[in-house]
Amino acid sequence: MQGELFKAETGWFHVFRSLVNSDAFASMDGKTVKVYLVIKTQTNIDTGLAGPIEYETIAARAGISVSSVKRAIPQLESLGYVSRSPCGRSYVYRFQEKWRIHDESGKHTAMASWPYIPALVKSTADDLRAGRVPPNVHIERLQLNINHVGAGGVVINVQDALNQMHPNMRQKLISLLERAGAIDIGSYTQVSDDPDHG
């Protein structure tokens, strides 16, 4: 009996709440979700690569037809959650995670996407919570509130969001806003981490 215990499969992988709460997940049928889960079970903890794995293997493990697998994978690719590279008769897969970023009031303000590497999940999450953006993370769909005041006058309400950002990210965003003409150079009160300069 004890020998059987040591043969138990105890592997695990992440399925993030942000995926389950997304419109993309709601648009997936059950077969597509099964394909996602079967492939993700093959993910290497250190590299994030899954496979090589053949369509037939995915179909057998998911209990669906090969043609269903062939339809599901392009859907996962089009939603931006999976990419694949040929490897002989098989494919190697890489997962792209997407986490919602919320402000203090809980409003969705941006999306952070990054290649899924299980060994880096904790450090990536810690960095994002601390306002740092690791090099492998891409911030997309950052939402800014813009109020049009009058002819030629625009007020952008980003001060609180900028205050919460990592200084490097904050400076890049300010630079983009200045280049777009959304704020005047020199008229913006920049937040500084240095108490002597503000």
Q: Is residue 159 part of a domain?
A: yes
- 18 and 42 housed in the same domain: yes
What are 140-175's pLDDT values in tens digits?
A: 655 555 555 555 555 555 555 565 565 666 677 777
- 58 and 115 housed in the same domain: no
Q: Is residue 70 part of a domain?
A: yes
What are 53-69's pLDDT values in tens digits?
A: 999 999 999 999 999 99
Q: Is residue 194 part of a domain?
A: no
Q: Which structural domain range is residue 159 located in?
A: 145-179
What are 101-127's pLDDT values in tens digits?
A: 776 777 777 778 889 999 988 988 888
Task: State the pTM of this model.
Answer: 0.66
Q: Is residue 35 part of a domain?
A: yes
Instruction: Report the 3 state secondary structure along the chain.
Output: CHHHHCCCCCCCCCCCHHHHCCHHHHHCCHHHHHHHHHHHCCECCCCCEEEEECHHHHHHHHCCCHHHHHHHHHHHHHCCCEEEEEECCEEEEEEEEEEEEECCCCCEEEEEEEECCHHHHHHHHHHHHCCCCCCCCEEECCCCEEEEEECCEEEEECHHHHHHCCHHHHHHHHHHHHHCCCCCCCCCCCCCCCCCCC
